[in-house]
A and B are shown apart, each in its own frame.
Chain A
Amino acid sequence: MSVDRRLFLKLSALAGGGLMLGFTLPACSSKPSGFPNQHAGALQANAFLQLTQQGQFILQLHRAEMGQGVYTGMATLAAEELDLSPEQLQIEHAQYHPDFADPEMKLMLTGGSSSIRNSYHIVREAAASFAHILRLAATQLDANLNTSQALPELLSAVKQGGAWAEYLVLAGQISAPDEIVLKSPKDFQQIGQHNQRLDALDKITGKAQYAMDVQVPNALDAVLLRCPQLGGKVLSFKAETALASSNVVKIIEVTDGIAVIAKGYWYARKAAKLVQIEWQTDAAAKLNTAELLIERQHLLDTEEGYEAEEIGNKKDAVGERFEAQYEVPYLAHACMEPLSAIADVSAHKVTLWAGNQAPDVVIGAVAKATGIDKSLISFHNQMLGGGFGRKTLPDYIVQAALISQAAGMPIRLQWSREEDIQHDYYRPSATARLSATIAENNPTSLHSRVSSPSVLGSYLPAVATGLLPGWLPESLPNFAAGVTAKRDYSSTEGLTHSPYQFAYKRCDYVLQKQAMPVGYWRSVGHSQNAFFLESFIDELAHRCQQDPLAFRRHLMAEDEAHTRVLNALESLSRWGQLEANQFQGVAIHKSFGTIVGEVLTLSKGQNGLVIERVDCVVDCGLVINPDIVIAQMESGIIFGLTAALKGKIDVIDGAVQQSNFHDYPLLRLNESPQIRVRILDSEQAPQGVGEPATPPIAPALANALFAATGKRQRALPLSMA
């Protein structure tokens, strides 16, 4: 059966998996001359778009495609203003250029579900500007041309006129207009209409190229042995036997580990088992998750902390006090693609191939590590086999560069699954105490107090050294991280700015300094804070003897947008209309500009409780590609169910105990519930979609389990028994 090209018609995509930076850094890289990925003879209007001599439009994809759909989404935005269908654009992974920086984060970074939200204007403007130039050039070429026709028809007419080359030259002399008129949403032909993924065909035929698939001539395969305990360094090593192993080329000490380089990954891995290493560890090798939990409880007992939010007057907190403590573990990202990077480092040139969410962080970090100027470094992004925030960090690419530099040859670094799980930057483990006062079945106050490590405090020093100007003192990033960590807003996001009205509301954050390396993980602080808040609201509803959904509606009555989602959810889920042995739990949470409400329905049968279905209502503003929004809701729910039911990283003496999918399991197809998604119509600007479905699902499940069993579970992962 041949593929109908109509498959690829219409509409677009949305962002996902990552982070939201609470700081901005100057984009200090010197501006490269010209634009990257320039095609010979092509007309280039701006960093985003080119028109080749053959008449092909090329779009630079400035965001990382990691499953969330930006490949389709960005093409749809550009195509709309060029009067094209998205599949008519040729799409290339953009190399670093300052014009690709996110306007909020000031970095070329994919995260915080920001791609569509923050590109909705930028990419359309780039395309509309190009379209304006092309129309103007047509007028100058031939005043008789009908420039009111659609752009592709106009270009065809120019081509038929036989002066195509002359036309491109003419257009190249026209400057971008000062003011750009964008299409009115009522005239959209692609946005909100196009409903297919442009990258799907390559991904089901094995043609999509991920880092591991890049063919670099003469690149050898490297594996890097690192200390299983956090912070360990090589004291000594013996590699004679390993070196004699077949296909092994080199074994070197580099970047706190031993790199084994061979012709073939399996040969390198086999030889690596023969290397004997004595490690030197420090205080970090004493970390234990059990002790870290106790420490967080002690921190919450103190008067310490940063007051992230206070609304109302404390004297209005009247009535009986009720308190509950919640807990979530460290989590690994477990992208299906184990980390991989290829580096070719010589004295005057560095070429890198990998999948990463932050190209300028990569270039800055590799420049810092290798001592080679940023202007000599090129980074070729690939399809990401999952990101979820893990690939905002450049660690694996820096390792590849250092191994290549030390070995004097191009190498392909491949992490194993075990290394991927044991050397992650984890979703922080966190403990929260929520308390309320209740007077005559009415809550009068809500006080949340949360303790966790700071993601920002970990990320800032990891990336800032490569981004800050060289003349700044080396200690500055660590100093800045120390200051910002104590007030890391991502640690309380979702607990603050909630739609619930109380006479008195307060939220405190107590930083836990001792920690495993932590990083941005799909929905970041919301991933645990929605569990804390939405579980506690449910507890309050039951204590106030009210229906959990009606109780929420009452508490958020002044918030029209939340109420709209909740009402739609009530109807979609047929809330309360249950058969015998069915039980429901509800949760609603806003993150990355988008409100998502979810009702999870359990059924009790011969095999105990089973998740029967999840009903989901989303208000994400204007929709670019409806089916990708639905897919991201399904994705966020299933990702969140893995965390709710299975995810847990344990650390003993600084070493992660889990290693592969047998002891760090993911949800499987037979455990995946039916999911129904309803998108609410909106004319508001597009908001995030990649992350917001994840936060509500754990509390929706916990609340449904309470309905079914009468037992309140306050720690993840949850037990279905």
Chain B
Amino acid sequence: MLLEFTVNGVPHRVDTDPEQPLLWLLREQLQLTGTKFGCGMGLCGACTVHIDGAPMRSCTLPAVAAQGRVVTTIEGIGVANGELHPVQSAWLLMNVPQCGYCQSGQVMSAVALLNSNPKPSDDDIDNAMSGNLCRCGTYPRIRAAIHLAASEIQAVSYYDPREQGLDQERSS
């Protein structure tokens, strides 16, 4: 089938099997490799993209479901001119990533959460983020970074635990 949709603001027409998951179409046909393959069953969230603003697992979503829709990937969430989204800035300030493989999906889920809920509680974060696995265990920092993005991100120029009065100790 001929799939017509918008990806990161750019209209695309792509020939694909309608059943091919959107993940592989993005990665292989559009070379948008920031979206990752983790499980193929929608269990880990590494492949999270936004369809019309809603977070979806692209590894199980057939390409046909994107027909006429607006798709946003990790490559497309910066504010403008290659600048970072506030969620990405918070991730950077909190040194969230380790191996980094799951982080595109984590960031996409967090952006979607803050779009719908600008001041999430811990329970809200649990509900929105527990579908995104991280084997390195960056969860405490993800939680802290979401709170940071939601609150004082504009006020913080860079993160140094010692300036926060925590010495080399962090309550996460």
- Report the minimal beta-carbon distance from A256 to chain B, rounded to whole angstroms: 23
Contact at A206–B98, with CB atoms within 8 Å?
A: no
Those of A618-668 within 8 Å (CB) of chain B: 626-628, 630-631, 634-639, 660-662, 666-668
Tell me which of A1, A203, A631 contacts B141 (CB under 8 A): A631
Chain B 68-110 against A: per-residue CB contact (8 Å), 1 yes, 0 no? Answer: 0000011100110001101011011101111111111001000
CA distance A670 to B142 in the complex (A): 11
Within 8 A of A (CB), among B124-172: 125-127, 129-143, 153-154, 157-161, 168-172
The answer to whether A206 and B38 have CB atoms under 8 Å apart is: no
Residues of A within 8 A of B139 (CB): 638, 667-669, 672
- Indicate whether A204 sits within 8 Å of B103 (C-beta atoms), given known contacts A627-B95, A638-B139, A669-B143: yes
Q: In the bound complex, how far is the Cα of B158 from the Cα of A634, in angstroms?
A: 21
Tell me if A446 is interfacial: C-beta within 8 Å of chain B: no
> A3 vs B81: C-alpha distance in the bound complex, in angstroms?
12
Q: How many Å lie between the Cα of A626 and that of B166 in the bound state? A: 12
Is there a chain B Cβ closer than 8 Å to A678's Cβ? yes
Q: How far is the CB of B23 from chain A (nearest CB, A)?
A: 8
Question: Number of contacting residues on A, CB 8 A?
Answer: 77
| Residues of chain A lying within 8 A (CB to CB) of residue B117 | none
Q: Is the CB of A672 within 8 A of B92?
A: no
Q: Tell yes or no: B1 within 8 A of A by CB.
A: no
Would A213 and B33 be within 8 Å (CB), given that A1-B153, A2-B83, A265-B24 are in contact? yes
Q: Is the CB of A386 within 8 A of B101?
A: yes
Q: Is A337 an interface residue (CB 8 A)?
A: yes
Once the chains bind, are A203 and B38 in contact (CB under 8 Å)?
Answer: no
Chain A, range 671-692, C-beta contacts under 8 Å to B: 671-672, 674-679
Known A-B contacts A266-B20, A634-B140; A334 and B170 likewise in contact (beta carbons under 8 Å):
no
Question: Are B137 and A634 neighbours in the complex by a CB distance under 8 Å?
Answer: yes
Q: Does A336 contact B (CB under 8 A)?
A: yes
Contact B100 A199, beta carbon cutoff 8 Å: yes
| Residue A335 interfacial (CB < 8 Å) | yes
Are A670 and B130 closer than 8 Å at their CB atoms?
Answer: yes
Q: Is there an interface contact between A204 and B92, defined as CB atoms closer than 8 Å?
A: yes
The distance in angstroms between the C-alpha atoms of A206 and B160, with both chains bound, is 25
Docked complex: A322-377 residues within 8 A CB-CB of B:
334-338
Q: Do residues A677 and B169 form an inter-chain contact, with CB atoms below 8 A?
A: yes
Q: Is the CB–CB distance between B24 and A635 below 8 Å?
A: no
Q: Given the known A-B contacts A669-B130, A678-B169, are A246 and B17 also in contact in the complex, defined by CB atoms under 8 Å? A: yes
Q: What range describes how many residues of B lie at the interface?
A: 35 or more
B53 within 8 A of A: no
* B98: min CB distance to chain A, Å: 3
Q: How far is the CB of A50 from chain B (nearest CB, A)?
A: 26
Contact across chains for A204 and B91 when beta carbons are under 8 A apart: yes
Which A residues are in CB contact (< 8 Å) with B95?
Answer: 195-197, 200, 627-628, 631
- Return the chain B residue nearest A203 by Cβ: B100
B41 interface residue per 8 A CB criterion: yes
- Whether a CB of chain A sits under 8 angstroms from the CB of B46 is yes
Q: Is B129 in contact with A203, judged by CB distance below 8 angstroms?
A: no
**A661:B103 contact, CB within 8 angstroms:** no
Candidates A201, A210, A636; contact of B92 at CB < 8 Å: A201
Residue A67, interface by CB 8 Å = yes
Bound-complex Cα distance A206 to B108 (A): 11
B120 on the A face (CB < 8 A): no
A676 and B98 within 8 A (CB): no
**Cβ contact within 8 Å between A212 and B43:** no
Q: In the bound complex, do residue A661 and residue B74 qualify as a contact, i.e. CB atoms below 8 Å apart? A: no
Contact B158 A206 (CB under 8 A): no
Q: Are B99 and A672 in contact (CB under 8 A)?
A: no
Give the chain A neighbours of B20 by CB distance below 8 A: 264, 266-267
Q: Given A205-B84, A336-B44, A662-B41, are A200 and B158 neighbors across the interface (CB < 8 Å)?
A: no
Interface residues in A1-28 (C-beta closer than 8 Å to B): 1-4, 6-7
Q: Are A200 and B96 in contact, CB atoms less than 8 angstroms apart?
A: yes
Q: A232 near B: Cβ within 8 Å? A: no
CA distance A352 to B80 in the complex (A): 37
**Given A383-B99, A417-B40: A669 touches B126 (CB 8 Å cut-off):** yes
Kindly state whether residue A416 has any CB partner on chain B within 8 Å: yes
Is A280 located at the chain interface by the 8 A CB criterion? no
Question: A68 near B: Cβ within 8 Å?
Answer: yes
A66 touches B24 (CB 8 A): no
A231 interfacial contact with B, CB 8 Å: no
- The answer to whether the Cβ of A593 comes within 8 Å of any Cβ in the partner chain is no
B171 touches A674 (CB 8 A): yes
Q: Which residues of A contact B46 (CB under 8 A)?
A: 336
Beta-carbon contact of B92 and A662 below 8 Å: no
Partner pick for A1 among B32, B74, B89, B171, CB 8 A cutoff: B89
Q: List 28 A-B contacts (CB under 8 A).
A: A1-B79, A1-B89, A2-B84, A4-B157, A197-B97, A200-B91, A209-B33, A210-B36, A212-B33, A212-B36, A264-B20, A336-B46, A336-B136, A386-B101, A386-B136, A416-B40, A417-B40, A572-B169, A630-B170, A634-B141, A639-B136, A639-B137, A661-B133, A666-B133, A667-B139, A668-B133, A674-B171, A677-B170
8 new A-B contacts, CB < 8 A, other than A68-B98, A334-B135, A626-B161, are: A204-B84, A209-B33, A264-B28, A384-B99, A634-B140, A677-B170, A678-B168, A678-B169
Instruction: Enumerate chain B interface residues (CB-CB to A < 8 A).
Output: 17, 20-21, 24, 27-28, 31-41, 43-44, 46, 73-75, 78-79, 83-84, 86, 88-89, 91-93, 95-104, 107, 125-127, 129-143, 153-154, 157-161, 168-172
5 cross-chain pairs, A with B, having the tightest CB-CB distances, nearest first = A206-B34, A638-B137, A203-B100, A385-B101, A67-B99
